[in-house]
Structure 1
Amino acid sequence: MKLAIGSDHGGLALKEVVKTFLIEQGHDVVDYGTKTADSCDYPIYGERVGEAVSFGNCDRGIAICGTGLGISMAVNKVPGIRGALCTNEFMAEMSREHNDANVLVLGARVLGEGLALRIVKVWLETEFGGDRHQRRIDGITAIEKKYSK
């Protein structure tokens, strides 16, 4: 799977751990920054990850900041993105099975590395359930279209 990944300075260390894990699992990973621990703004990296997925350059994305809150808000402004801030494996599973989340959002200051990697693994392995859940995804898309004029 081709995955976009990005973070601000607060998520940089976890991003590097997740990126290494993904590459070891055989995924093609495109790193949209940041590359340094210098203070930077999470909206830049949320937008980059969101666009990579929305434009079809990557299959899914992972966005990380300190809490996950700010970058989640940013990535979800990109049309077609359903970014899910997950703090445990169950949320990761449901975000894929029920919500067809195409961007996983993590908070580096909220999660330990081990838990973060378990969340990533579950999120990548869980398929969208379709059926009744598709109707709800269509509802999200309708809201997005209504306000994208």
Structure 2
Amino acid sequence: MIQEEAPKAFKFVDFTIPRFSVDIDNTIEYKIKMSFKPFGKYFETTGIYELHLFFEATDEGTQEVLISANPTFIFEFDKSYSFDEVPEYFFTNSIPIGFPYLRAFISSITLQANLDVIMLDLVKFSNIAKALKENTEVIKKD
């Protein structure tokens, strides 16, 4: 009998948003375009993955950067794996797990700044999962 390998589990641990900026004029109506540039660091000795999701919201007309943020989301695998063993579903699912925190942060900051509240649209992230995997720095086991 062939024994199937158990799925590799991971959990969301924490997030920080150490750098962000908001440059919005309430007298102007903007048409916002969002962009994401993901990259990560995977520590093979601990099974910790740092997901960095650089975010910019620009005005479609002027290309002016209205909001930028560089959140870091920390994930932990059930044990340390080599990078080749990290499942594809991690790259597909990790960004949508972290995005609601970024979305809530942007809404909260714009509300507290007494600006028109910016509520980011929902996004289909499957198209940037490949970019995340390709832009991952692997910190090897000793």
- TM-score over 0.5 for the alignment? no
TM-score in terms of structure 2 length: 0.28
Which structure has more strand as a fraction of its residues? 2
TM-score in terms of structure 1 length: 0.27
Which structure has more helix as a fraction of its residues? 1
Structure possessing the higher radius of gyration over alpha carbons: 2
Higher RCO (C-alpha under 8 Å, 6+ residues apart): 2
